[in-house]
Amino acid sequence: MERPGRLLLQSELRVRNAAYDVSLSRSLLIWKRRTSSPVYHPFRPSVCHSVPVSEIISVREEEEENGSRQRDDGSWKKIREREGKDCRQAFTVLYVERCRQHRWRCAEVTFTCSDEAVCQHWVSSIREQLASNTSRPKHLLVYINPYGGKRQGKRIYEQKVAPLFTQAGISTSVIVTEYANHARDHLKMEAELKKFDGVVCVGGDGMFSEIIHGLIWRTQIDCGVDPNSTEEALSPCSLRIGIIPAGSTDCICFASVGTNDPVTSALHIIVGDSQPLDVCSVHHNNMFLRYSVSLLGYGFYGDVLSDSERKRWMGPARYDFSGLKMFLTHHYYEGTVSYLPAKGIIGTPRDATRCRSGCVICQHNGQLNSERSEKYEMDEASDSESSGEWRTIRGKFLAINAASMSCACPRSPKGLSPAAHLADGTTDLILVRKCSRFNFLRHLLRHTSKDDQFDLTFIEVHRVRRFRFMPRHCQSDSDLELDLHENSKRQIFSQICKDHPACGCAPAYSSWNCDGEILTHTAIDVRVHGQLIKLFARGIEELPVFEDLSNPCAI
């Protein structure tokens, strides 16, 4: 438990007609019940509570609320007479309460003071401490996707999130998007970003992708950085991004908070949490294509996405159908992967360390990468192929995946790369070589088990800072723009065989799945930009070994 430090205020107050010693420091609000007997009772419920000041949502006086409740109701009058308190002598503190599965809830406690002056002193002192926290947002720009997921985005925001923002004194400017990339285009050109302390998106991973594309692009233009250059280091975004999950997968929320609960995400925004996040820039022939924060997948995951896009009428079931279909077709693709290994860092893709709140690996490697980026800006040749650091692998691959985070979700609790980190300046490059269907199934099933999913002879994984891919049959960059949809329309199930001769039974190219969007080029150059953006999050918190879930704030 955090030490309370120097006390700012201490009084005897009442909670539910019981006497409590209440103290306030710069870090903690503590209320401890006074006991009439000095005898220790080991089975008596805990009567001491502690809340970090940083996790207090707001404080309010009860004058207006209780005054409005006065009615000609005999029972209410009896209660007021029994309690014998003036309505101006009570105040309520709203604070964060931890629940199961990393969820947060808004709890409250009402204190009754001996007189009005004491009450006002407590309220002003707590508000002063909240106001001194400069990390808390006061003005937010909110984008709502009304069509994402189950089309519940607007309802979720209005019923669950907006009331919390109002209680915390946060003003919002709300935009309901009307078409694809509406939020991206508005951030690029029209939004007056200087008026806001953060940007919030209500939707799924697709909506979040729109936000980062608009915000990162706008930041680079404002800073004079060319987004099309593969060698320039991108400028980090100053505004934090909040995600209110209302999509199908909500992968980013699972990786940064541990749950896809809208109330939990809203509370992380209110208390002003900050979690840096790596972003991969994807280029083709010195032309910018997209940014990626979670998964870049070629082969199996690219084929699944391409096939499922033509079956949107099936709803979420299309992913299961397309996944089964692509597993049975068992396509492999030939190509060359070149990568720049991440040297001098701590942590590997196969260790047992998981990225959690206050991650030491992210802090260490993030600092290391920022020092290296300054060096590379002065000596660009050190990051070129002539430096000798690049490594090359040629072969036949069922899948090529780059995971910048664990990519965990309800269907895959561990994710594609369980030990991937949010902000260490690297991505985990996973190469699945050509193998039998049975072995590939073993690999897929390990995403849902506790087994080491990389402990297979046909799989290799590397932690890299940059990588490139070139399909085997590409003769020039102009050949790389493929009509993938027309190709796949000609075949429902390609022939199932060990090898695909030049008979055209299997496509020569797959497509890249970039955070759920299809790239139009297959030859790409990917570079990791460490801690380019920040989220209103703190990473997944480690649960205490002895956790009192019935009273999460009890100490």
Catalytic residue ranges:
205
By the 10 Å C-beta count (0-12 exposed, 13-18 middle, 19+ buried), 185 is classed as middle
What is the C-alpha separation between 20 and 14, in angstroms, rounded? 6
Q: What would the two tokens of residue 484 be?
A: 């993938």
Distance of CA 352 to the CA centre of its chain: 21
Residue with tokens 């980062």: 212
Q: Which helix (H) or strand (E) holds 141?
A: strand 139-144
Backbone CA torsion sign across 115, 117, 122, 123: positive
In the three-class reduction of DSSP (H, G, I as helix; E, B as strand; rest coil), residue 393 is classed as strand
Q: Write the CB contacts of 192 (distance below 8 Å, at least 6 apart in sequence).
A: none
Of 226, 279, 525, nearest to 425 by C-alpha is 279
Q: Cβ contacts of residue 65 below 8 Å, gap of 6+?
A: none
- Quick one: how far is CA 121 from the chain centroid? 39
Strand duo 198-203 + 240-245: pairing = parallel
In 181-292, where does DSSP find H-type helix?
182-185, 205-223, 251-256, 262-270
Quote the distance between the C-alpha of residue 494 and its chain's center.
Answer: 38
Beta strands in 323-476 (DSSP E): 333-341, 391-403, 427-433, 459-471
What tokens were used for 2?
């955090």
Six token digits for residue 409: 């979700």
End-to-end CA gap in the chain: 9
